[in-house]
Chain A
Amino acid sequence: MAEVMKLHYTVSGDDFTRAGETSSKVKKTLNQLGFRPEVVRKVAISMYEAEINMVIHANGGTIDVDISPEEIIIVMQDTGPGIPDIEKAMQEGYSTADHNVRELGFGAGMGLPNMKRYSDDMQIDTEVGKGTCVKLVIKAKE
């Protein structure tokens, strides 16, 4: 494959039932490229949680995925409300999601912890009122 494959997606924020479609596409692409199942799984789960967050908290955004044989880098940018207290948001069980989101099986306060658990590196830049940028790196080599 080429040195780096670059993918760009726009995630709609108005339809929760479609949240996860982008992660699904990326998962399919990585499988087709022949990445190891553990690597594909780590990307799929961490990206899916981030995509869900983007839809339920930030009304959508953009996702850029850079795929190289060494690593997969996912950058997710939104213009949502930002995260006022990152430390709290990283705690398992802490959530600001409303009742509707919880009814759908999310908002249990596992999103950011899961993203951290399944990625090799996670960086979050956030500003209240401006938006959040999440960068996830998953190493593809053993």
Chain B
Amino acid sequence: MKLSTVKELLDGTVLTGGELLEQEVDSAFGSDLMSDVLAFVENRVLLLTGLVNPQVVRTAEMMDISAIVFVRGKCPDENVVELAKSKGMVIITTEDTLYVASGKLYSNGLTGSAKEG
């Protein structure tokens, strides 16, 4: 699924990486536990989370995750957005909860990532 489609489905706002929305993601993973992200995620994954601290971006960096959706209307501060920008990541925020955002994406064909690393 293209990131532009993700943005559209979630009525999202792009905080950085607006020029990268043509990129595709193969699956998605939703969690507020970064250690679980580190344990379970595969390649070309979209990360959905309600956590907005810099470690979310760091975790994504380690996993080669290039796009993050912050759910529940959470907005990261400037430093977090800058860090993501410097890593060439896309950051999208949505008012949807993790459950609703996941449901919208799943029902439109973006399945889950759950393989152990």
Which residues on A are within 8 Å of B, measured CB to CB?
Answer: 16-20, 23-24, 27, 37, 41, 44-45, 48-49, 52, 104-111, 113-114, 117-118
Q: Quote the shortest CB–CB distance from B90 to chain A (angstroms).
A: 18
Which residues on B are within 8 Å of A, measured CB to CB?
Answer: 32-36, 38-39, 49, 51, 53-56, 58-59, 61-64, 79, 116-117
A117 to B38, CA, bound (A): 10
Q: Quote the shortest CB–CB distance from A58 to chain B (angstroms).
A: 17
Is the beta-carbon distance between B58 and A117 smaller than 8 angstroms?
A: no
CB-nearest residue of chain B to A97: B35
Is the beta-carbon distance between B51 and A105 smaller than 8 angstroms?
A: yes
Is the beta-carbon distance between B53 and A104 smaller than 8 angstroms?
A: yes
List residues of chain B with CB within 8 A of the CB of A109: 35
Using known A-B contacts A17-B54, A104-B51, determine if residue A48 contacts B62 with beta carbons closer than 8 Å. Answer: yes
| Inter-chain contact total with CB atoms closer than 8 Å | 76
A37 to B116, CA, bound (A): 17
A19 to B57, CA, bound (A): 11
A107 to B35, CA, bound (A): 8
Partner of A114, one of B39, B53, B61: B39
Is the beta-carbon distance between B62 and A37 smaller than 8 angstroms?
A: no
Using known A-B contacts A37-B64, A104-B53, determine if residue A24 contacts B58 with beta carbons closer than 8 Å. Answer: yes
A20 to B35, CA, bound (A): 13
Is the beta-carbon distance between B35 and A117 smaller than 8 angstroms?
A: no
Q: Give 17 new A-B contacts, CB below 8 A, not counting A17-B79, A104-B51, A105-B32.
A: A17-B53, A17-B55, A18-B54, A19-B55, A23-B62, A44-B63, A52-B55, A105-B33, A105-B34, A107-B35, A108-B33, A108-B35, A109-B35, A110-B33, A110-B35, A110-B38, A114-B39
List residues of chain B with CB within 8 A of the CB of A44: 61-63
Is the beta-carbon distance between B35 and A106 smaller than 8 angstroms?
A: yes
Is the beta-carbon distance between A27 and B62 smaller than 8 angstroms?
A: yes
- Which 5 A-B residue pairings sit nearest by Cβ, starting from the closest? A110-B35, A105-B34, A20-B58, A44-B62, A108-B35
